Chains A and B, each alone.
Chain A
Amino acid sequence: MNVRVLVAKVGLDGHDRGIKVVARLLRDAGMEVVYTGLFQTPESVAAAAIQEDVDVVGLSMLSGAHMTLAPLVVEALRQRGSEIPVVLGGIVPPQDLEELRELGVTAVFGPGASAAEIVTTIAGIVSHSL
């Protein structure tokens, strides 16, 4: 199975260490990874995800804006009729997890998530949604 993932930085957060490392680790695990660069909007991410026909969108947010921006990415996808699941990684305090799931974020990887956990979870989500 060829899993395609779009990894994206939405908003103004320039911290790109995590997203680049995770992207390479996903590639090491045999997935295809698309990265659209910094300062994306929810709309641009949704459009790219649909155009690239990816299986999962992975967001990386370390600036504290995740409660606002991550649900907007989910919304932008759904408005375009896409059911592509959205996962989120970064500085996300445990208190936010439940609300993020309610707002349609499929999985959240906190600051302590391991590479193995990220790879396994994404593979699981994809096989589930096929």
Chain B
Amino acid sequence: MTNESAQEEWRQLFDAAPIRPGTFATMSGIPLAPVYGPSSAEFPGVYPYTRGVHASMYRTKLWTMRMFAGFGTATDTNIRFREIIRAGGTGLSTAFDMPTLLGLDSDDPMSLGEVGRCGVAIDSLADVRDLFAGIDLGTITTSMTINSPAAVMLALFVAQAEESGVTRDQLGGTLQNDILKEYQAQKEFVFPPRQSMRLVRDTIAFTAAEMPKWNSISVSGYHIREAGSTAAEELAFTLANGFAYVELARQAGLEVDAVAPRLSFFFNAHIDFFEEIAKYRAARRLWAKWMKDHYNARDPKSWQLRFHTQTAGVSLTAQQPEINIARTAIEALAGVLGGTQSLHTNSMDEALALPSEKAARIALRTQQIIASETNVVNVADPLGGSWFVEELTDEMEREAEVIFAQIAKMGEGSMLEGCIRGIEENWFQGRISDSAYELERSFNSGERVVVGVNAFQEGNDEDDLATLRITNADEHKQLARLSQVRADRDDDQVRTAIERLTREAGDPELNLMPALIDAAKAYVTVGEMMSALADVFGRHVEVPSL
């Protein structure tokens, strides 16, 4: 065994790491080591990274407090973004409305009633400009939660940055761009799976070549779990999707070490505290092993699974909404003890509406309490070595390997093919809805208790929480903005850009990003770009199944 050298390797990495100012002792003055465990243990910062991707973990840098926000028009959301930054948020994450997520303009007939409702409405470059007005994109990293139109949104973002004098190579941030889990769980798809994967390939290749600070995909288990999967399914489906993207990039001629370090992950923090922590630990170990052994990655950065965490929206209750603050705090703590790199905490009112400003501030304060008051940040992987947590970590790993084998079998050895066939055959969707149904039955039978729902209901009628109201006025404002853009732009330029896009979409060898960026600069709208692509790619229709 090489455990002696694991401890030695950790020591060298730790000694080389910058340490943030602070006292690393308990409240009563007992000094704390950066990590605990016998020399035979695994160590953080050392392969297979079960205990964390960094040797010094939160002693160097706390997690990014990245609050997800977006509603109404770009101007409305810009105000909320600045509010988050003023309150101490250290990263931004953009929530788009349903029409934008599905690549439709605000004036599309299908968009009626949905504009600006559950995210910000973005139709063109003009909206992206207003969204980030007055925000220094050089110091704040930006995450954009969008999938089917991810390539289009990346093009708009690059166009906006270049217009304001920021070059591509300076841009830091993350595009969710995880289309596989859309078919499996979140269901915001436009094109058929294989055509969508071409766009993912194009964004991977483009960012690898031109945007060194950009994370091309945030491989997301969050939505898989929210759709009803178990923790092990969330873990396994997500990592399998990650393997699929690595295989996709290899097909496009990219080395695994050029791609894997730019993949980040996004997991749910549900209410079963220890199971979640075990899930994060197993995720790191599995990714490291698969990258090294199956995909022959040689750069340690390829082995290191970095992840964002969001507390579980589905665990929140409409009854006695204030008690959701407690649920979210416990879930957030699991994310931190599990070694997350960034965290979004849900607001207490999210079973009812988009968060009010006050509810969002309390959610951020919850993270700040964990970071500043509890002292849990002083020691890396504080639960490592617990017989219970170690065994649960091993069990998560075993369950995930069983699921990997099933997916590989569907793909005849290829995880990429297995993921796509699993989608086409409704395998993922069926497993997720079976798990959701089983869980619901355990709530209905009373086998599982949800406070305020099937137990402890006193106080349920005292609900007078002020929630955020989004009126039709926002929709009208956005429609006016869009018609102004259409009136002001050069129609010849628009036509030329769309013709080029359609032509290049027909040639699968070409990378579509340059054509998309040109279209963005010509004020071609999101809906027009997506519709031009759909003319070539077709549209996906899910076969309804219960």
Contacts and interface: CB of A to CB of B under 8 A. Distances in A.
B238 interface: no
Contact of A112 (B111, B186, B318, B436): B318
Interface in A1-56: 11-17, 20-21, 23-25, 27, 33, 35-39, 41
Interface in A48-68: 63-65, 67-68
A91 B460 CA distance: 17
Given A17-B226, A94-B463, A110-B318, A65 B543 contact: no
Main secondary structure of the interface of A (DSSP, over half): loop
A123 interface: no
Most buried by A among B112, B460, B546: B546
Contacts of B221: none
A93 interface: yes
B433 interface: yes
Contacts of A93: 352-353, 467
A129 interface: no
B98 A17 contact: no
A11 B227 CA distance: 19
Interface in A87-130: 91, 93-95, 110-112, 114-116
A12 B351 contact: no
Interface of B (DSSP majority class) = loop
Nearest to A111: B318
A11 B470 CA distance: 17
Nearest to A113: B318
B149 interface: no
Nearest to A28: B441
Interface residues of B, number: 49
A23 B114 contact: no
Interface in B47-77: none
A23 B546 contact: yes
A76 interface: no
B117 A65 contact: yes
A25 B437 CA distance: 8
Contacts of B268: none
B104 A115 contact: no
16 contacts: A12-B102, A12-B111, A13-B98, A14-B188, A16-B227, A17-B432, A21-B437, A25-B444, A36-B544, A37-B541, A37-B542, A37-B544, A68-B113, A91-B351, A111-B318, A112-B317
Interface of A: 11-17, 20-21, 23-25, 27, 33, 35-39, 41, 63-65, 67-69, 91, 93-95, 110-112, 114-116
Given A41-B110, A65-B113, 4 more contacts: A12-B98, A14-B188, A17-B314, A38-B542
